Structure 1
Amino acid sequence: MSIDVMALADVLRRAAKAEILPRFRRLSDGDVRAKSEATDLVTEADVNAERMIRAELEQLAPQALFIGEESVAADPALLSKLKEAELAVIVDPVDGTFNFASGIPAFGVMASVVYRNETVAGLIYDPMGDDWVMAEKGSGAYLRRPDGEAIRLSVAAPKPLGSMIGMASAGYFFGEQREKILGNLAKVRMFACYRCAAQEYRTLAGGHVDFAMYNKLMPWDHLAGTLISQEAGGHAARFDGSPYRPTDLDGGLLVATTPDSWRVLRDEIIG
């Protein structure tokens, strides 16, 4: 891998300060558009931040395939190139766009580095807190601040099912499966959905919750957070127990504090 991860982190920060934060709570009606449904939004912040990140990455890592959420929305065939790419950078310019457009300060900028179909680095920048959580494969996960401070992250200690608190997005479960999973979630102590995977993964890797569960898998939503959670000591797999890979677009994803906790959650919640 030949990408300077700290330089990539700085690119995300600069894009947030130039294109995202100046638009927060200042969007006009023409700055927000619906994509697949009324709650699936794109704003001028998403588009302009991604354009800036892409331009800077062309200088930082010209050999890398760039895959951004908004680029794929414009050209869906772009996503199929990931499988054959030796090196790729995958970006979500504003994760939590619904929150951002609603004036809720729970959103983030995410990037992951994929080398030969393996995630080797993940970064989540929080524009409101002005810090990152990030990981490089095999090197642990850290909360990093612009002044150079770095704090190693660790997931929470394992708990029994009835004491677990987690993040569960039920929006992409449907029919009987949705009813079953929502009913089974009554077995845990508490669950929430921030509508922002960036902040949910930060919460998990920081040891504040015990699991995160998703059914819709897009690489810009989950590659960075999954690697960060694993490097913080967590266990991640698709619902059938298979590893989660950059090219996986279905099969669900469950991330927990330990393999044993993962198995309990899969058996009791997903079935």
Structure 2
Amino acid sequence: MANVDIAALANLLQEAAVTEILPRFRNLGEGDVRVKTEAIDLVTEADEAAERLIKARIEELMPEAVFIGEEAVASDPALLGKLADAELAVVVDPIDGTFNFAAGLPLFGVMLSVVHKGETIAGLIYDPMGNDWAITEKGSGSWLCKPDGNQEKMEMVPAPALSQMVGIANTGFFDLETRRKLLVNLAEVRIFTSYRCAAHEYRALCQGHLHFAMYNKLMPWDHLAGTLMAQESGGYAARFDGSPYLPHHTTGGLLIAPDEETWLELKQKIFTV
């Protein structure tokens, strides 16, 4: 497996946040926010500046890696196709939760994953507001790393009865009829929500504050780090058909639960898409 300097990657995410993201938070000028595909899909000057900085640092740190950033793919969609066959790739979401960031809500993160020969081997989710990192490497567990150097192991919690489960359900990318069906089914769980920020959804899930997470649109910068983190926190993840979620997948949905038994219950009773 490729060697990954996790500490250096963590530092560069912090540098991007301190240099390019936080100075612009609640300080975006006219023209600094633009619509990409629809009104809820935004990009800001902070996204683009942060991605440029991260890309430059990755080129110094891991020059052999293919760099796949969300904003780079927005400009050149063909770049996404390089992920499946790359020997080594670094996948970055410079600001996950751009809608929140642009609205002045302090719920956004910086996400990075490392893919080696079609397999996610490391993931980092940095919270600029809390100045801490959720970090995972394949086979090494998931850890919350605090600014004072202390580390806490992250572990998903066993799920309670279905009627008491709390989780994330992103229904916005289904067709209308499927969405209606899912929303009716979701009445069976205690609470379902969406933070509009996968970075914080995955962190909350892996720290044991949530019992499940469901997504339909699978862009690698949103889900690679978090899925590995959940698996390394003891969780079970698969696409809706039960197959493993791999870095090159962009469709097929994703459901994460504390264990396979809970996954099957959720799939059969709630997420029958």
- The offset of 1:156, in angstroms, is 1.1
- Structure 1 residues 142-153: aligned runs within 5 Å: 142-153=143-154
In 2: Cα distance, 1:134 partner to 1:269 partner: 30
1:207 counterpart residue number? 208
Distance 1:256 1:217 in 2: 17
Q: Which amino acid is the alignment partner of residue 80 of structure 1?
A: G
- 2:265 equivalent in structure 1: 264
Aligned residue in 2 for 1:138: 139
Aligned counterpart, 1:118: 119
Which structure 2 residues correspond to residues 110-259 of structure 1 after superposition, within 5 A?
110-259=111-260
Q: Is the 8 A contact 1:155 1:232 kept in 2?
A: yes
1:67–1:88 Cα contact (<8 Å) kept: yes
TM-score w.r.t. the length of structure 1 is 0.99
In the other structure, the counterpart of 2:17 is 16
Q: Which residue of 1 aligns with 2:69?
A: 68
Question: Is contact 1:165-1:190 (8 Å) kept?
Answer: yes
Q: So what's the TM-score if we normalise by structure 2?
A: 0.98
**CA–CA distance in structure 2, aligned partners of residues 256 and 195 of structure 1:** 19
What is the deviation of 1:28?
A: 1.1
Corresponding letter in the other structure for 2:84: K
For 2:201 and 2:26, the matched residues in 1 are separated by: 22
Q: Which string of whole-angstrom CA distances, capped at 9 and with x for unpartnered residues, describes residues 79-101 of structure 1?
A: 00111100000000000000000
Q: Unaligned regions of 5+ residues in structure 2, if any?
A: none
How far the C-alpha of 1:6 sits from its partner, in A, is 1.4
Amino acid at match of 2:190: R
1:136 positional shift: 0.1
Looking at structure 2, the residues matched to 9 and 146 of structure 1 have their Cα atoms a distance apart, in angstroms, of 11
1:76-115 maps to which residues of 2 (within 5 A)? 76-115=77-116
Tell me how far 1:134 sits from its aligned partner.
Answer: 1.0
1:5 Cα offset (Å): 1.3
The separation in 1 between residues aligned to 2:234 and 2:4, in whole angstroms, is: 24
Letter in 1 for 2:170: S
Whether contact under 8 Å (1:2, 1:61) holds in the other structure is no
The answer for unaligned runs of 5 or more in structure 1 is none
Kindly provide the CA deviation profile for residues 10-30 of structure 1, in whole angstroms up to 9, marking residues without a partner as x.
Answer: 100110000000000000121
* Shift of residue 158, structure 1, vs aligned partner: 2.2
Report what 1:48 is aligned to. Answer: 49
The whole-number CA distance in structure 2 between the counterparts of 1:196 and 1:133 is 15
Q: Matched residues in 1 for 2:93 and 2:209: separation?
A: 24
Is contact 1:43-1:97 (8 Å) kept? yes
Identity of aligned residues (%): 61
Structure 1 position 159, deviation (Å): 1.3
C-alpha distance in 1, partners of 2:135/2:263?
22
Shift of 1:147: 2.2
Shift of 1:270: 1.4
Return the letter of the residue paired with 1:29: E
2:158 counterpart SS class: coil
Q: Verify the 8 A CA contact 1:3 1:60 in the aligned structure 2.
A: no
